[in-house]
Amino acid sequence: MSVKGINRIAIIGTGAVGGYYGAKLAAAGNEVHFLARSDADVIKAQGLTIESLKSDDIHLKDVNVYSNASDMPICDVVLITLKTTANKALSGILKSVVGESTIICSLQNGYGLEQALEDEFPDNKVLGGLCFICSQKIKPGVIQHQDFGSIRFAGADDESLQRVVELFTDAGIPTQTSDSLEQARWEKLVWNVPFNGLSVILDATTKEMLDDPKSRALIHSIMMEVIAAAKAHGCELNDAFAVKLMELTDGMSPYFPSMKGDFENCRPMEIQAIYDSVIQSAKSKGVAMPQTTMLSQLLSYMDHG
């Protein structure tokens, strides 16, 4: 905790996720430092704006924004919101903002992220946050918040977990906690694995894919592959969870998942994080994922990265 109880927070990646949560945390009075790279100049000049379709807009002026992590201060809490496709730069970035008591929290998509962080920063508390949010960067410095926004946190010790939860709760962000980071990650993958890749391959929204009986069956079948892999990792998940997720998505506004946005904007897709790490992990438990593997192969062919 910094002086006067103000939290000093680093946002590593000011995109659809980092921009939104960072702005909410800053609006709540925290000292937030944003790493933004190519957008840093625009944000410095014009501020950071959240246009929300569901709640009040936010406009931050005088943003602490950086294009180089080496200019950033050591922070109390570091939120990793980079695309995983930029993870090769992560290690160098974190050295600038992580001190001995810094809590590191990954809000990235994928599997195995926290383990890699714990390996690299064995003396720090590492936790994961699973974001249930529909948002997109519509231009530099402007994030459109479409729906939802809650985060499920898990990992680290109770004290660190509680501290991060309070930070977000105090900023008006709904939070839940999970006893098992493993379980929470797999639960999110059950959604991410089918919807992200299929939206790219079929050029379709969640609703379009769920309304067609063949693609709906495929979504269910891929979810069951992920659930089988999750079970092999000791998670408690079953068919009812797949059905529940599909019905929950039926109730959402038609949505293009983040991978579709990456593809359309010629950014590399998070194939390693959302697919290959999962396939590899399932394989290590003797579970084959033929359809998930095929998704990864199709996406790899299509990838601009």
- Residue closer to a copy of itself (CB basis): 2 or 215: 215
Using rule CB under 8 A, residue 177 touches a copy of itself: no
Residue 188 bears catalytic tag: yes
**If you search the block for the tokens 């430092």, which residue do you land on?**
33
Give the span between the Cα atoms of 211 and 226, in whole angstroms.
Answer: 21
3-state DSSP call for residue 148?
strand
3-state DSSP call for residue 175?
strand
Using rule CB under 8 A, residue 279 touches a copy of itself: no
Range in contact with a copy of itself (rule: CB under 8 A) among 55-63, 149-157, 216-224, 231-239 = 216-224
Q: Beta 64-66 vs 31-35: how paired, if at all?
A: parallel
User: Which one of residues 52, 67, 85, 291 is an interface residue with a copy of itself (CB under 8 A)?
Assistant: 291
Give the span between the Cα atoms of 270 and 275, in whole angstroms.
Answer: 8
Nearest approach, Cβ of 291 to a copy of itself (angstroms)?
5
Using rule CB under 8 A, residue 218 touches a copy of itself: yes
Q: Beta 31-35 vs 58-60: how paired, if at all?
A: unpaired
The single residue of 24, 83, 188, 260 carrying the catalytic annotation is 188
User: Which one of residues 202, 228, 232, 287 is an interface residue with a copy of itself (CB under 8 A)?
Assistant: 202
User: Which one of residues 4, 61, 88, 214 is an interface residue with a copy of itself (CB under 8 A)?
Assistant: 214
Using rule CB under 8 A, residue 290 touches a copy of itself: yes
Using rule CB under 8 A, residue 287 touches a copy of itself: no
Give the number of C-alpha atoms closer than 13 A to the C-alpha of residue 207, restricted to the C-beta side.
Answer: 5
User: Which one of residues 69, 72, 151, 209 is an interface residue with a copy of itself (CB under 8 A)?
Assistant: 209
Nearest approach, Cβ of 162 to a copy of itself (angstroms)?
43
CA 218 to chain centre: 24
Give me the residues paired with residue 32 across strands: 9
CA Rg value for the chain = 19
User: Which one of residues 42, 252, 287, 298 is an interface residue with a copy of itself (CB under 8 A)?
Assistant: 298
Q: Which long-range contacts (CB under 8 A, 24 or more apart) does 237-244 make?
A: 237/183, 237/186, 237/187, 237/190, 241/187, 241/190, 242/190
Range in contact with a copy of itself (rule: CB under 8 A) among 44-52, 80-88, 112-120, 287-295 = 287-295
3-state DSSP call for residue 152?
strand
Nearest approach, Cβ of 29 to a copy of itself (angstroms)?
48
User: Which one of residues 55, 221, 238, 284 is an interface residue with a copy of itself (CB under 8 A)?
Assistant: 221
Nearest approach, Cβ of 132 to a copy of itself (angstroms)?
26
Q: Which residues in 27-172 belong to E strands, given as ranges?
A: 31-35, 48-52, 58-60, 64-66, 75-80, 98-106, 125-139, 142-155
The two three-digit tokens of residue 266, written as one number: 């010629």
Element (H, E) at 50: strand 48-52
User: Which one of residues 28, 74, 201, 252 is an interface residue with a copy of itself (CB under 8 A)?
Assistant: 201
- Would you tell me which residues interact with a copy of itself (CB under 8 A)? 198, 201-202, 204, 209, 212, 214-215, 217-218, 221, 290-291, 293-294, 296-298, 300-302
* Catalytic site positions: 188
